């Protein structure tokens, strides 16, 4: 197991390195940080711009490979460089990762938990009204892109707030600035979490519920469920004890995939609800031609994808005795 | 009074598929009722209907009474009190029948706790006792193992343990040994007999193997196309069958206990349950059919005194005239042997394998893969096949038969040793030579469904080898091939799924013949077929060999088929050859203890013989080929070694025996330090 | 024969039936609808800016006086074309790469799967976002290529693992023992026997691509003006959704309907093509 993990770690580090380097090259050759300084009034002298850009390792007059070497030598010591305005990428990233992880964690837990429960319920009640309602709803939800869901949620919140005459549901930012008490802070943060969580989770719930339902129905026809009933278990008990548990295994293999869609979903959610997380940064940094920030976001995304893959494998190993090694 | 009473049971599935039609039987205390019939004849559906475990959408009518209480209209919450308590069931495939994520012990304990109000630890202890009862070594440790960590035989024992956990009065066993090797089958059947002694239960034993039923059943019910066609005591059915289907079935099996004669196939296929013929369902295949047979379906009626029943309008006539299968069925003619074959030494050697080795890395874990050892799948075997000869390779599953075939078919250098096909060493073949050699070396596979690409019409399947080797006039050759194997050439446009199993196997044979090969490798060519169909395919293989001058390398686990088809036989055990020689020698005077055990484990379709036979029961399972025992590989299970003195037994553990010719002139060798001489198979007096 | 069975099963599945009907209606709307409307998508009505739906402009007008009906249908055409093309490319690529990796094994397998892993790890959203505005000179076809290039990996893994088990199937072994070359076996035996999976995958890829296009266009990284797609229209409309909801609701609604109907058809196909699945 140790040797395996080591091999996997090495290959993952390699993948991350290559992915981040490719993203860096792409960003460094396609984006133009100089544009940020050129259009200014009064005009800034070219030599000054060069100087500033050199400081930030963003000067397009330096050969790209040289810039890359500078960037890499920073990265290996843990320094991800500077943003186009000269801020430390590290500091910015630290703040933003916290924001994003909060959303992603809640999205994963709530999405998979509720999704699996709903799917299992639908499978047990196959062909009843509730199964059909769940099925149709999840189909519709899966057809709505996150940005449409998020936009609709904001419209809804605005409408509700207007109708009530006070702000019941918050829909911008992570908290209301200027609140004093710890408790007020806390409830405000919770309130701000509601809509983004819904926007992020709905798709996940729909996805997991479909998977879990289908997997359970697959398992349902298998011999061991019949054996369980031949022992004298009722259909319901056989389903819960034997089918549900076994059907969790394939659902866990989908975790990595679902997490990928969650990451993309987070971009929109953060952007639309005004959260300053990694997803929003990705969009902003491209629009602002911020090469080093783009590279940093790529690094983060690559690590996330690999960690999700690893978690998925670990979950499968935990659930399935057949793949464990003793 | 019978414990279980089934009356006029009918099961119809969606789409008008009449799977079971009017099955009636009674089962008494401690009695064993065998239900036999070809696949699809409704055996499993009958038993699932009794258990109330049919899938939704099945309509059931008739009556099933357990201790006089009607089960069919019993509410579900009362039924679950009976299932697993009064009536237990054992399924065919023991791997998929256990939930993969719980330990065997937990699953047995669960069965205990459903019906008995005892604590968890008590139930766990009871599970261990039950595992001990069915002969699982170290039951306390093995109870903590997961199903995939058990071998097939152990899983089936555990399944039996689970089924008898609550002392049921009725035990339904659905093909409990079909997935197992003969030596393991013999063990499991013993365990079943023990279980019956312990519980005094009545057993319904469902199988397609007439040998198994002969050994264990008191009475037998024969089913055909969802209907019972004959019912009687086991002696009546086996020695005096009175229904043409039963008679045909018994006549079509290759026998170990009689001199080899031409097999008698039953022509045609069982009818589809969705489109039954109007009268007797067997009429299209029946050699005794008269026009009255098509008028109405004959009912199961009493013939003669006693409980004997048969569903045939001509049963009385059969009884009066004392007819049997060999007299009513036409015996297909064997092709005339062209001249006396030359002695073996003068013939060409078409295949020669010397000290061949094939090892695999042993990987563990699906997610966290790593190498944990080496599987010695084939570990130095030698044999040769002379022109016009059939060599059979036999042994339990996992002993390396398939690996041997694959190594030969690949025509590449083996990891060790040599493979010489038609005088050409596979290690030194150039690409073009290898392709040319492939014309002369062809293969027929076990599973006729998997061997044909389901998305290609049969014509294209047969054309593929022809095109690959640049043949012209393909259409004519396809028609010729189809008629050669007894199929209608006009069916070339059909897809494989439109043919029955036996027909598909014939297509597979036709494909192998397309390039006019000299050596054909047959990997279990008839083991997936029902007996009545199997006989026809065996006859075809015999005919083709004579007509086309073929040589066969033939892998099988069914020793009766081997005796019928082969000239020579090589018995494999754990990647080595245990015994090799002519069929007459090896079957007549088996010298290796393993061969003797193998031969004695084969159930014979002869109740008297089965009752009187002494079985050599092997202990335990095949050891892992990743860790073969030192010295003689068979020593961990060898019954002979137990009788040896300490000094002699040590030799078995230290020195690996190699195949030694038993006498200077006979074609017979065994890899045992202490080979035996006496005969083992008894012949039938009937 | 088989296709008849599949069609019959498809027709028996109510979900798939609704999906198919809805999809046909939407296609009809996208391609015939523009001829029915009074305006073309390039027309600008300088007398009507940001008008709500009316008899003249069925779905209202934009801030530069375009007819929302005409523009939306134009955008929908683009979205549909992009969806189908991406699905075609990515499923085709997935089939070839996955089958080759699974069939040949060894270093071919390792190299191809490593490439797939790399593409999975690369943030596709970001790369397309950076590249596609720079391909202005080129056409939206580049955008299609990019979307396809980042959407085949998971399917190719599935294809690979199915090929691994197919490879041991006896009919494939038979072909190999006849001396038929590997690539011929892949094309004649492996890929046709995965066709169910591939058809289902292609269908679901259509909807994934439509959503993907819209997502990127939402931030201005996708289809570039003057071209329009549902994504660019939704993006333009979402800013003014409280005041002028018709700008948002029509393209968003059509997008959802389109994706929903394609998904329904895909799910129905799964039931019809995969005999082991639950009806
Ligand atoms: N590709 C493989 N990788 C690892 N082990 C294998 C492989 N093929 C066969 N084996 C192992 O080799 C042994 C012999 O198998 P096989 O040749 O299939 O025997 P048989 O034909 O008698 O069933 C078994 O233990 C089997 O698990
Ligand atoms: S009833 Fe007629 S067709 Fe049927 S088995 Fe008897 S003789 Fe044959
Ligand atoms: S060598 Fe010894 S252990 Fe092996 S078969 Fe002979 S007697 Fe048995
Ligand atoms: Mg085998």
ipTM of the complex: 0.83
Q: Is B208 close to ligand 1, i.e. is its CB under 6 Å away?
A: no
CA–CA separation, B165 and A230 (whole Å): 12
**Tens of pLDDT, residues A134-159:** 988 998 999 999 889 998 898 888 88
Contact B201, B170 (CB under 8 A): yes
Touching C: which chains, 3+ CB pairs < 8 A?
A, B
- Cα→Cα distances B580→A57, B416, B560, B583, B667, Å: 79, 21, 16, 9, 8
Mean pLDDT lowest for which of A72-86, A122-136, B64-78, B654-668? Answer: A72-86
CA–CA separation, B382 and B408 (whole Å): 12
- Cα→Cα distances C65→A115, C69, C159, Å: 44, 12, 49
Helices B593-601 and B182-199 cross at an angle (nearest 10°) of 50
Residue B42 CA to ligand 2 centre (angstroms): 19
Q: Any idea where the domains of chain A sit in the sequence?
A: 1-33+100-324
Max intra-chain CA distance, chain A: 86
Nearest to B286 by CA among B230, B325, B317: B325
- Cα→Cα distances C89→B493, C27, C154, C191, Å: 33, 21, 14, 15
Token readout for B374 is: 């080496």
Asked if the Cβ–Cβ distance from A230 to B146 is below 8 Å, we say no
Q: In 3-state terms, what secondary structure has residue B554?
A: strand
Torsion of CA C101, B361, B434, B350, to 10 degrees: -150
Residues A32-56: b if buried by 16+ CB within 10 A, e if exposed: ebbebbeeeeeeeeeeebbebbeeb
What is the mean pLDDT of the segment spanning A34-51?
Answer: 75
Q: Chain B, 493-522: which have a CB under 8 Å from a chain C CB?
A: 495, 508, 511, 515
B681 — pLDDT class (breaks 50, 70, 90) = low
Q: Residue holding tokens 């393209």?
A: C251
- How many cross-chain Cβ pairs, A to B, lie less than 8 Å apart? 99
User: What is the structure's pLDDT at A1?
Assistant: 58
* Residues within 5 Å of ion ligand 4, judged at the Cβ atom: B 402
Name the fold adopted by B567-686. Rossmann fold (3.40.50)
pLDDT beyond 90 at B441: yes
Kindly report the nearest CA distance between residue A98 and chain B, in angstroms. Answer: 31
Mean pLDDT lowest for which of A56-65, A314-323, B175-184, C214-223? Answer: A56-65
Token readout for C15 is: 């979900």
CA–CA separation, B640 and A314 (whole Å): 49
Question: Chain B residue with minimal CA distance to A231?
Answer: B84
Q: Residue holding tokens 């075939």?
A: B405
Nearest Cα residue to atom 6 of ligand 3: B672
CA–CA separation, C220 and C232 (whole Å): 7
Helix (H) or strand (E) segment spanning residue A52? helix A46-55
**Tens of pLDDT, residues B139-173:** 999 999 999 888 888 888 899 999 989 989 999 99
CA neighbours closer than 13 Å in the CB half-sphere of residue B249: 28
Q: Is B641 close to ligand 3, i.e. is its CB under 6 Å away?
A: yes
Query: Does C228 reach chain B within 8 Å, measured CB to CB?
Result: no
CA–CA separation, A213 and A244 (whole Å): 9
Residue B358 CA to ligand 1 centre (angstroms): 10
**Tens of pLDDT, residues B312-335:** 999 888 888 888 888 888 888 777
Contact A283, A277 (CB under 8 A): no
pLDDT beyond 90 at B356: yes
Asked if the Cβ–Cβ distance from C131 to A283 is below 8 Å, we say no
Asked if the Cβ–Cβ distance from C256 to A155 is below 8 Å, we say no
B578 — pLDDT class (breaks 50, 70, 90) = very high
pLDDT beyond 90 at C244: no
Kindly identify the ligand whose nearest atom is closest to the C-alpha of C105.
Answer: 1
Helix (H) or strand (E) segment spanning residue B213? helix B210-216
Nearest to B3 by CA among B151, B167, B138, B206: B167
Kindly identify the ligand whose nearest atom is closest to the C-alpha of B292.
Answer: 2
Residue B101 CA to ligand 4 centre (angstroms): 27
B340 — pLDDT class (breaks 50, 70, 90) = low
Mean pLDDT lowest for which of A15-29, A68-82, C184-198, C255-269? Answer: A68-82
Kindly identify the ligand whose nearest atom is closest to the C-alpha of B399.
Answer: 1
Mean pLDDT lowest for which of A201-205, C14-18, C176-180? Answer: C14-18
Asked if the Cβ–Cβ distance from B445 to C180 is below 8 Å, we say no
Q: Is B448 close to ligand 1, i.e. is its CB under 6 Å away?
A: no
What is the mean pLDDT of the segment spanning C44-59?
Answer: 73
Q: Residue holding tokens 């072994």?
A: C173
Kindly report the nearest CA distance between residue A139 and chain C, in angstroms. Answer: 7
The B416-421 sheet, strands edge to edge: B370-386, B349-364, B416-421, B424-425
Is there a shared CATH topology between the B4-223 domain and the B567-686 domain?
yes
Q: Chain C, 111-170: which have a CB under 8 Å from a chain B CB?
A: 169-170
pLDDT beyond 90 at B370: no
CA–CA separation, A63 and A80 (whole Å): 19
The closest CB to that of A143, out of C122, C129, C260, belongs to C260
pLDDT beyond 90 at B442: yes
Nearest to B167 by CA among B98, B223, B116, B106: B116
pLDDT beyond 90 at C36: no
B389 — pLDDT class (breaks 50, 70, 90) = very high
| pLDDT over 70, % of chain C | 94
Q: In 3-state terms, what secondary structure has residue B238?
A: helix
With beta carbons under 8 A apart, name residues in chain C contacting B491. Answer: none
What is the mean pLDDT of the segment spanning B664-678?
Answer: 85
What is the mean pLDDT of the segment spanning C197-222?
Answer: 86
User: What is the structure's pLDDT at C73?
Assistant: 87
B392 — pLDDT class (breaks 50, 70, 90) = very high
CA–CA separation, B425 and B352 (whole Å): 9
| pLDDT over 90, % of chain A | 13
Question: Chain A residue with minimal CA distance to B51?
Answer: A230
User: What is the structure's pLDDT at B680?
Assistant: 56
With beta carbons under 8 A apart, name residues in chain C contacting B451. Answer: 170-171, 174
Token readout for C255 is: 């997008």
The closest CB to that of C260, out of A16, A31, A139, belongs to A139
B498 — pLDDT class (breaks 50, 70, 90) = confident
The closest CB to that of A224, out of B81, B82, B98, belongs to B98
User: What is the structure's pLDDT at C137?
Assistant: 59
User: What is the structure's pLDDT at A326?
Assistant: 47
**Tens of pLDDT, residues A266-286:** 888 998 888 888 988 988 888
The top-level CATH class assigned to C2-273 is mainly alpha
What is the mean pLDDT of the segment spanning B101-115?
Answer: 94
Q: Which residues pair with B221 in a beta bridge?
A: B35, B231
Contact B417, B353 (CB under 8 A): yes
Query: Does B454 reach chain C within 8 Å, measured CB to CB?
Result: yes
Q: Is B377 close to ligand 1, i.e. is its CB under 6 Å away?
A: yes
* CATH number assigned to the domain with residue range A1-33+100-324, chosen from the 4 options 1.10.287.130, 1.10.1060.10, 1.10.3720.10, 3.40.50.720: 1.10.3720.10
Q: Dihedral of CA B646/B647/B653/B656: which sign? A: negative
With beta carbons under 8 A apart, name residues in chain C contacting A143. Answer: 207, 256-257, 259-260, 263
The B4-13 sheet, strands edge to edge: B17-27, B4-13, B59-66, B69-70
Query: Does A10 reach chain C within 8 Å, measured CB to CB?
Result: no
**Tens of pLDDT, residues B189-227:** 988 888 888 888 999 999 988 999 998 999 999 999 999
What is the mean pLDDT of the segment spanning C112-132?
Answer: 86
A253 — pLDDT class (breaks 50, 70, 90) = confident
Q: Is B225 close to ligand 2, i.e. is its CB under 6 Å away?
A: no
CA–CA separation, A64 and A62 (whole Å): 6
User: What is the structure's pLDDT at C276?
Assistant: 47
Kindly report the nearest CA distance between residue B570 and chain C, in angstroms. Answer: 24
CA–CA separation, B256 and B563 (whole Å): 7
Asked if the Cβ–Cβ distance from C189 to B443 is below 8 Å, we say no
Residues B554-580: b if buried by 16+ CB within 10 A, e if exposed: bbbbbbbbbbbbbbbbbbbbbbbbbbb
Tell the burial category of A182 from Cβ atoms under 10 Å away from its Cβ (0-12, 13-18, 19+). Answer: exposed
- Cα→Cα distances A4→B364, B444, C114, C201, Å: 11, 40, 17, 32
User: What is the structure's pLDDT at C278?
Assistant: 38
Interface residue ranges in chain B relative to chain A, Cβ cutoff 8 Å? 51, 53, 55, 76-77, 80-85, 88-89, 91, 93, 96-102, 110-111, 114-115, 146, 148, 159, 162, 364-370, 372
Asked if the Cβ–Cβ distance from A246 to B99 is below 8 Å, we say yes
The closest CB to that of C177, out of B443, B446, B447, belongs to B443
Q: Are strands B87-90 and B69-70 parallel, antiparallel or unpaired?
A: unpaired
Nearest Cα residue to atom 6 of ligand 2: B312
Q: Dihedral of CA A221/B115/B164/B134: which sign? A: positive
Chain A interface test: which of B368, B369, B371, B373 (most A C-beta within 10 Å) = B368
Q: In 3-state terms, what secondary structure has residue B380?
A: strand
With beta carbons under 8 A apart, name residues in chain A contacting C123. Answer: 19, 23, 282, 297-298, 301-302
pLDDT beyond 50 at C279: no
Mean pLDDT of chain B: 89
Q: Is B329 close to ligand 2, i.e. is its CB under 6 Å away?
A: no
Would you give the DSSP letter of residue B373?
Answer: E
With beta carbons under 8 A apart, name residues in chain C contacting A294. Answer: 126, 130
Kindly report the nearest CA distance between residue C116 and chain B, in angstroms. Answer: 18
CA–CA separation, C143 and C146 (whole Å): 5
What is the mean pLDDT of the segment spanning B92-99?
Answer: 84
Contact B181, B557 (CB under 8 A): yes
What is the mean pLDDT of the segment spanning B515-520?
Answer: 93
| pLDDT over 90, % of chain B | 49
CA–CA separation, B164 and B524 (whole Å): 35
Asked if the Cβ–Cβ distance from C178 to B453 is below 8 Å, we say no
- Cα→Cα distances C122→A123, B293, B411, C144, Å: 36, 73, 43, 18
Name the fold adopted by B4-223. Rossmann fold (3.40.50)
């Amino acid at each position: 197991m140790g040797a395996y993990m080591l091999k996997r770690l090495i290959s993952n580090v390699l993948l991350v390195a290559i992915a981040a380097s490719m993203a860096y090259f792409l960003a460094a050759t396609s984006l133009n940080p100089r544009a940020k300084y050129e259009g200014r009034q009064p005009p800034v002298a070219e030599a000054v711009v060069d100087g500033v850009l050199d400081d930030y390792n963003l000067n397009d007059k330096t050969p790209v490979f040289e810039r890359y070497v500078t960037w890499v030598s920073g990265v290996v010591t843990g320094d991800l460089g500077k943003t186009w305005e000269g801020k430390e990428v590290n500091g910015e990233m630290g703040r933003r990762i916290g924001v994003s992880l909060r959303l992603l964690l809640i999205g994963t837990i709530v999405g998979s938990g509720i999704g699996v429960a709903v799917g299992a319920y639908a499978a047990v009640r196959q062909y009843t009204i509730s199964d059909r309602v769940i099925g149709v709803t999840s189909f519709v939800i899966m057809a709505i892109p996150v940005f449409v869901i998020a936009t609709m949620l904001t419209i809804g919140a605005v409408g509700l707030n207007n109708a009530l005459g006070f702000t019941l549901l918050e829909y911008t930012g992570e908290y209301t600035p200027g609140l004093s008490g710890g408790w007020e802070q806390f409830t405000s943060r919770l309130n701000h979490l509601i809509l983004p969580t819904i926007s992020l989770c709905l798709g996940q719930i729909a996805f997991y519920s479909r998977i879990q339902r289908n997997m359970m129905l697959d398992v349902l026809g298998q011999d061991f469920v019949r054996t369980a009933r031949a022992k004298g278990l009722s259909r319901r008990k056989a389903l819960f004890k034997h089918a549900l548990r076994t059907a969790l295994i394939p659902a866990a293999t989908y975790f990595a995939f679902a997490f990928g869609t969650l990451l993309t979903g987070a971009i929109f959610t953060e952007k639309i609800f005004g959260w300053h997380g990694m997803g929003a940064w990705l969009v902003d940094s491209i629009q602002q031609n911020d090469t080093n920030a783009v590279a940093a976001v790529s690094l983060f995304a690559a690590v996330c994808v690999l960690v999700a893959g690893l978690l998925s494998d670990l979950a499968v190993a935990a659930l399935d005795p057949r793949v464990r090694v003793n | 009074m019978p414990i279980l009473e089934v009356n006029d049971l009918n099961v119809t599935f969606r789409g008008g598929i009449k799977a079971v039609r009017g099955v009636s039987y009674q089962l008494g205390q401690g009695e064993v009722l065998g239900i036999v019939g070809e696949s699809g004849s409704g055996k499993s559906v009958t038993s699932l209907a009794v258990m109330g475990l049919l899938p939704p959408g099945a309509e059931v009518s008739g009556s099933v009474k357990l201790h006089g209480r009607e089960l069919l209209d019993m509410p579900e919450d009362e039924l679950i009190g009976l299932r697993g308590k009064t009536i237990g069931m054992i399924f065919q495939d023991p791997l998929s029948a256990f939930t993969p994520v719980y330990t065997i012990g937990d699953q047995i304990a669960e069965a205990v706790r459903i019906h008995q109000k005892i604590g968890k630890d008590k139930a766990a202890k009871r599970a261990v006792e039950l595992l001990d009862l069915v002969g699982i070594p170290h039951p306390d440790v093995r109870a903590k193992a997961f199903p995939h960590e058990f071998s097939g035989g152990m899983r089936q024992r555990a399944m039996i343990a689970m089924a008898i956990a609550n002392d049921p009065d009725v035990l339904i066993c659905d093909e409990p040994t079909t997935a197992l090797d003969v030596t393991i089958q013999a063990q499991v059947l013993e365990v079943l007999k023990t279980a019956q002694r312990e519980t005094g239960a009545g057993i319904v034993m469902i199988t397609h193997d007439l040998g198994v039923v002969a050994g264990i059943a008191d009475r037998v019910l024969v089913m055909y196309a969802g209907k019972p066609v004959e019912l009687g005591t086991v002696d009546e059915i086996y020695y005096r069958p009175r229904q043409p289907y039963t008679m045909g079935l018994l006549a079509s099996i290759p026998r170990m206990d009689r001199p080899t004669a031409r097999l008698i196939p039953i022509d045609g296929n069982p009818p589809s349950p969705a489109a039954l013929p109007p009268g007797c369902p067997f009429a299209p295949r029946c050699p005794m059919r008269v026009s009255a047979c098509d008028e109405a379906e004959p009912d199961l009626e009493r013939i003669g005194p006693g409980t004997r029943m048969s569903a045939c309008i001509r049963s009385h006539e059969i009884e009066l005239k004392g007819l049997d299968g060999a007299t009513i069925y036409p015996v297909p003619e064997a092709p005339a042997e062209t001249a006396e074959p030359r002695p073996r030494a003068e013939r060409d050697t078409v295949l020669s394998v010397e000290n061949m080795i094939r090892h695999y890395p042993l990987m563990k874990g699906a997610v966290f893969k790593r190498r944990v050892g080496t599987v010695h799948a084939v570990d130095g075997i030698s044999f040769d096949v002379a022109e016009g000869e059939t060599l059979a390779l036999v042994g339990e599953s996992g002993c390396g038969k398939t690996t041997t075939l694959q190594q030969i078919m690949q025509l590449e250098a083996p990891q060790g040793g040599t493979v010489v096909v038609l005088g050409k060493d596979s290690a030194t073949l150039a690409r073009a030579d290898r392709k040319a050699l492939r014309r002369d070396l062809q293969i027929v596979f076990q599973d006729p469904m998997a061997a044909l690409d389901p998305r290609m019409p049969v014509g294209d399947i047969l054309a593929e080898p022809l095109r690959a080797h640049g043949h012209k006039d393909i259409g004519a050759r396809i028609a010729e091939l189809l008629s050669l194997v007894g199929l209608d050439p006009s069916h070339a446009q059909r897809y494989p799924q439109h043919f029955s199993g036996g027909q598909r196997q014939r297509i597979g044979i036709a494909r192998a013949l397309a390039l006019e090969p000299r050596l054909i490798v047959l990997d279990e060519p008839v083991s997936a077929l029902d007996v009545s169909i199997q006989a026809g395919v065996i006859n075809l293989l015999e005919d083709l060999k004579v007509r086309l001058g073929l040589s066969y390398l033939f892998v099988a686990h069914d020793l009766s088929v081997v005796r019928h088809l082969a000239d020579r036989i090589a018995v494999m055990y754990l990647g080595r050859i245990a015994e090799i020689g002519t069929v007459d020698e090896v079957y007549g005077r088996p010298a290796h203890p393993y061969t003797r055990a193998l031969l004695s484990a084969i159930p014979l379709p002869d109740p008297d013989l089965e009752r009187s036979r002494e079985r050599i029961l092997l202990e335990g399972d095949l050891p892992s080929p990743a860790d073969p025992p030192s010295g003689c590989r068979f020593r961990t299970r060898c019954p002979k070694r137990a009788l040896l003195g300490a000094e002699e037994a040590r030799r078995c553990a230290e020195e690996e025996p190699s195949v030694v010719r038993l006498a200077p002139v006979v074609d017979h060798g065994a890899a045992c330090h202490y080979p035996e001489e006496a005969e083992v198979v008894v012949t039938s007096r009937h | 024969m088989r296709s008849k069975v599949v069609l019959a099963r498809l027709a028996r599945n109510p979900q798939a039936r609704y999906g198919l009907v809805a999809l046909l209606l939407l296609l009809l709307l996208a391609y015939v609808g523009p001829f029915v409307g009074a305006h073309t998508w390039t027309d600008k009505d300088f007398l009507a800016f940001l008008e709500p739906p009316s008899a003249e402009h069925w779905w209202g007008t934009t801030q530069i006086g375009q007819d929302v009906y005409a523009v939306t249908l134009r955008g929908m055409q683009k979205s549909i074309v992009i969806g189908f093309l991406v699905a075609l490319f990515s499923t085709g690529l997935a089939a070839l790469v996955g089958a080759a990796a699974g069939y040949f094994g060894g270093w071919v397998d390792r190299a191809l799967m490593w490439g797939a892993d790399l593409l999975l790890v690369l943030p596709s959203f970001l790369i397309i976002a950076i590249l596609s505005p720079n391909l202005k000179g080129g056409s939206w076809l580049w955008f299609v290529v990019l979307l396809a290039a980042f959407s085949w990996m998971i399917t190719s893994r599935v294809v690979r693992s199915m090929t691994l088990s197919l490879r041991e199937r006896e009919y494939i072994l038979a072909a190999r023992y006849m001396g038929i070359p590997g690539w011929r076996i892949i094309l004649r035996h492996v890929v046709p026997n995965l066709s169910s999976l591939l058809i289902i995958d292609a269908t679901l890829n259509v909807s994934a691509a439509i959503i993907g296009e819209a997502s990127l266009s939402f931030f201005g990284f996708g289809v570039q003006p003057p071209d329009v797609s549902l994504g660019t229209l939704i993006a333009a409309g979402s800013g003014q959704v409280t005041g002028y909801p018709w700008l948002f609701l029509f393209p968003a609604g059509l997008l959802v309907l389109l994706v929903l109907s394609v998904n329904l058809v895909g799910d129905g196909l799964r039931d019809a093509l995969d005999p082991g699945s639950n009806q």
